[in-house]
Amino acid sequence: MFKDISFGQYYPANSFVHKLDARTKLLLTIVFIVALFFIPSNATNRVDQAWYGYFGYMVTFAVLLVVIIFARVPIGSILKSIKGVLFIIVLMAVINLFVSNQGEVLWAWKRLHITDTAVHTTIKLILRLVLLIIGASILPLTTTPVAIADGLESLLKPLGWIKVPIHDMAMILSIALRFIPTLFEETQKIVATQKARGASFDTGNLFKRAKALIPILIPLFVSSFRRADELAFAMDSRCYNATNKRTKYRVNRMGWRDLLAFLFMNAYLVVILLDRYYWVFEMDRIIFGGWLGK
């Protein structure tokens, strides 16, 4: 049931991307997501043609390819993160395919119909989601959760000035990431035990199903509290809070790699913005206009 969840599926390697500062990767992930959302997947009021947007997705694909090559992570581990949300993507794509009324009708049956515009927006929607997930999976694949937590702590440091307990929050995040797989494993065991006793989790109406979850949640809560208790003893034993001048095993230092990465990803963002607001999809028309009509 939870096999495909790839939280903190860090893939150890010694690549260019692995060596980037976690803060760089956090910020550039945001840059990437922002850029991706400037590529339209629906008709805009400025251009309403089949081919708009494809140039952006092509550039994005090329950028991700470069990133993956420099990250030296296996394609399999990236595809795994897509597999986890495949159902949602398919569902959204199918809904999207039937809702549009614009364009030429390609196929119709009773009240269902598919138009050429719908086909294109669906393809673009899938591209957007898949590229988003691939792009977002680079960070956890190439950065240890501790480094991510440290990076967040460092980026959010300004909040510390207004007395937000940033360090404790980073510690909580790091521990949460550490315990997610443990708790998933435990949930599976409890589910198996309750099933063996004849419990059923996939029959009955919504209310019945929700009620069936209680015998899972209660043991899970009880054991989580026990775990928290033991963890607290273990942390105290290892001198947690001994000093407020805590040092760090992992060093965060920006270097030439980070500079290159910033330049590369921001160039990508600029290209996407130029295509949309300055060239107004001229690139899309030149490359894709020929065979996608008009």
Partner 1 sequence: MSTLKISGVSYSYSIGDGKTIRALKNISFEVEQGEYLALVGMNGSGKSTLAKLLNGLYIPSKGTVLVDGIDTANDDTIFEVRKKVGIVFQNPDNQAVATIVEDDVAFGPENLGIPREEIVERVNEALEAVGMDKHRERTFSKLSGGQKQRVAIAGVLAMRPDVIILDESTSMLDPKGRRKIMSIVKKLNEAGITIINITHHMDEAAHANRIIVLKNGSIIADSTPKEIFASKVMDEAGLKLPLPAQIANQLNENGFNFESAPLTLNELMEEICQQLK
Shortest CB 292 distance to partner 1, Å: 45
Rg from Cα positions in the chain: 24
Question: What are the strands, taking DSSP E only, across 67-185?
Answer: 105-109, 112-115
Nearer to partner 1, 165 or 290 (CB): 165
Least separation in angstroms between CB 241 and partner 1: 7
Give 240 or 277: the residue with its C-beta nearer to partner 1.
Answer: 240
How long, in residues, is the chain? 294
Amino acid identity of 206?
Answer: L
For residue 115, the cross-strand partners are 105
What minimum distance in Å lies between the beta carbon of 1 and partner 1? Answer: 17
In whole angstroms, the minimum distance from the beta carbon of 261 to partner 1 comes to 22
C-alpha to C-alpha distance for 273 and 219, rounded to whole angstroms: 52
Q: Closest distance between partner 1 and the C-beta of residue 224, in Å?
A: 10
* Residue 13 or 82 with smaller CB distance to partner 1: 13
Q: How far is the CB of 29 from partner 1 (least distance, A)?
A: 19
Residue ranges binding partner 1 (CB under 8 A)? 8-10, 12, 144-146, 171, 174-175, 177-178, 181-182, 185, 226-227, 230-231, 233-243, 245-251
Distance separating alpha carbons of residues 81 and 129, to the nearest angstrom = 12
CB nearer to partner 1: give 107 or 225: 225
Q: What are phi and psi of 2, to 5 degrees?
A: -115, 15
What does the alpha-carbon distance between residue 152 and residue 138 come to, in Å, rounded to a whole number?
16
Minimum CB distance to partner 1, residue 165 (Å):
17
Name the amino acid, one letter, at 108.
Answer: A
With respect to partner 1, which residue has the nearer C-beta, 62 or 231? 231
Do 150 and 22 meet the contact criterion of CB atoms below 8 Å apart?
yes
Name 282's Cβ contacts closer than 8 Å, sequence gap at least 6. 275
Contact assessment for residue 128 and residue 38, using Cβ atoms and an 8 Å cutoff: no
- Sign for the pseudo-dihedral over CA of 79, 85, 90, 92: negative
Residue closer to partner 1, measured from CB, 149 or 272: 149
Other beta carbons within 10 Å of 76: 8
CB of 197 to partner 1, least distance (A): 24
Judged by CB, which is closer to partner 1: 112, or 239? 239
Cα–Cα distances in angstroms (integers) from residue 133 to residues 33, 83, 126, 224, 291, in the given order:
10, 10, 11, 30, 29
